[in-house]
């Protein structure tokens, strides 16, 4: 089996997946790259399937901060993860809004969005 396999993502983008043995050999060099400011992730797994990603700690912290806020994103993310893990037929937007605790009749504050020219 090859040490590196091309993998096609659902959106059409391609990534390279290292097998686990080969990925472990690259960890010391990857740390050196991260220390120099590089942020390219190391994607690894078996049988050419992506199963894990090594990213810089600061990138992980930024992702963690972006997914945990006081406006209920944590619960929204949990609902999304559950639905992705247990695919079902399409759900009406009203049900999604109700599950997330949103009121579709409530006006949206778009004051921070750019105005059309």
**Domain locations in the chain as residue ranges:** 4-65, 71-100
Span 4-65 CATH architecture: 3-Layer(aba) Sandwich (3.40)
Q: Above 80 in pLDDT, residue 34? A: yes
The percent of residues above 70 in pLDDT, for the chain, comes to 90
Q: Is the pLDDT reported for residue 76 higher than 80? A: no
Q: Which pLDDT value is given to residue 51?
A: 94
Q: Which residue has the higher pLDDT, 77 or 54?
A: 54
Please name the residues in contact with 43: beta carbons below 8 A apart, sequence gap of 6 or more. Answer: 7, 15, 16, 17, 18, 50, 52, 53
CA distances for 78 relative to 52, 82, 94, angstroms: 20, 6, 18
Mean pLDDT of 91-108: 83
Does 1 score more than 60 pLDDT?
A: no
Q: Three-class SS of residue 33?
A: helix
- For the whole model, what pTM was predicted? 0.56
Task: Assign 50 a pLDDT band (cuts: 50, 70, 90).
Answer: very high
């Amino acid at each position: 089996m090859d040490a590196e396999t091309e993998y096609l993502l659902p959106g059409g983008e391609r990534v390279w997946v290292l097998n686990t043995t080969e990925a472990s050999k690259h960890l010391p060099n990857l740390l050196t790259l991260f220390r120099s400011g590089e942020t390219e992730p190391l994607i690894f797994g078996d049988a050419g399937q992506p199963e894990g990603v090594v990213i810089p700690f600061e990138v992980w912290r930024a992702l963690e901060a972006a997914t945990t806020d006081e406006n209920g994103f944590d619960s929204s993310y949990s609902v999304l993860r559950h639905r992705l893990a247990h695919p079902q037929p399409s759900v009406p937007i009203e049900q999604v809004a109700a599950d997330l605790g949103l009121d579709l009749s409530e006006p949206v504050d778009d004051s921070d969005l750019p105005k059309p020219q």
